[in-house]
């Protein structure tokens, strides 16, 4: 009974297995080099079945991007503490982001490294999701500026720029923190915990934004408002 019945896996589950195999293969080989043969083999199904269910490599890749980006956005959204102060919302969102990307490094590699190739149809999908994240962060920074009573001082364009910088920093940090190591057990590299990575990010980002909110700025002579250590050393 078991041997025969075990082949009758429902389509929905089979599709998820194929997508799992595709994520792994795309992350390791890249889009161009990934073959449907390998994806079918990793999924433990026949190649015709992959084509039957998911149509083409391009459609399969699109399905992967959609599933992985929805999962990432859902993880971050669920992590954000609603109604908290802006810095706590950012902190909880970043913890969700780094925890999810640490748990699914292959999914992150596909979204971050594979899917952004300009001009391909799937680049647009990733760009749309990224734009949503940037819009959320822009709102958060705007809210923080309001909380700090400096909404007028930070121009709208600068807030948008800061949001792009923040998102880029988080992406880069996630890529570094979760990089695949092929060094084996003797290798020294250990992954920092998602919480440590989020803390590094908050130290980097918020201490800086916090100063900005208080009206401090960096200028070529140093931080304005501080005694000019930099300016003194420079002369």
Binding site for a second copy (CB under 8 A): 27-34, 84-85, 87-88, 91, 109, 113-114, 116-120, 123, 147, 157-158, 160-162, 164-173, 175-177, 192, 197, 199-212, 216-218, 220, 222-223, 226, 229-230, 233-234
Q: Which is nearer to a second copy, 11 or 176 (CB)?
A: 176
The CB density around residue 134, as the number of other CB atoms within 10 Å, is 16
The two tokens of residue 75 are 């993880």
Least separation in angstroms between CB 70 and a second copy: 21
Tokens of 32: 């161009």
| Least distance between a second copy and beta carbon 80 (Å) | 14
Nearest CB to a second copy, comparing residues 18 and 133: 133
Give me the least distance between CB of 50 and a second copy, in Å please.
20
26 phi and psi angles, rounded to 5 deg: -65, -40
Distance spanning both ends of the chain, measured CA to CA? 85
Torsion of CA 91, 93, 95, 100, to 10 degrees: -170
| Tokens standing for residue 49 | 């079945």
170, two tokens: 């988080």
In this complex, which beta carbon is closest to a second copy, that of residue 28 or of residue 66?
28
Which is nearer to a second copy, 50 or 126 (by Cβ)?
A: 126
């Amino acid at each position: 009974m078991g041997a025969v019945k075990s082949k009758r896996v429902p389509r929905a589950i089979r599709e998820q297995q194929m997508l799992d195999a595709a994520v792994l293969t795309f992350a390791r080989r890249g889009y161009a080099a990934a073959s449907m043969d390998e994806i079918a083999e990793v999924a433990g199904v026949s190649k015709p079945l992959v084509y039957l269910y998911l149509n083409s490599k391009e459609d399969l890749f699109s399905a992967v991007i959609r599933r992985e980006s929805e999962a990432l956005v859902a993880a971050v959204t669920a992590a954000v503490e609603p109604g908290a102060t802006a810095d706590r919302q950012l902190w909880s969102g970043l913890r969700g982001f780094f925890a999810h990307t640490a748990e699914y490094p292959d999914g992150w590699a596909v979204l971050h490294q594979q899917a952004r190739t300009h001009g391909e149809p799937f680049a647009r999908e990733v760009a749309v999701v990224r734009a949503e994240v940037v819009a959320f962060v822009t709102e958060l920074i705007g809210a923080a500026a309001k909380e700090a009573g400096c909404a007028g001082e930070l121009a709208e364009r600068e807030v948008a720029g800061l949001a792009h910088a923040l998102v880029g920093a988080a992406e880069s940090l996630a890529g570094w923190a979760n990089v695949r190591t092929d060094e084996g057990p003797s290798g020294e590299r250990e992954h920092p915990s998602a919480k440590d990575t989020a803390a590094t990010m908050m130290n980097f980002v918020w201490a800086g934004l916090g100063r900005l909110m208080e009206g401090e700025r960096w200028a070529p002579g140093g931080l304005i408002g501080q005694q000019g250590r930099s300016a003194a050393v420079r002369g």
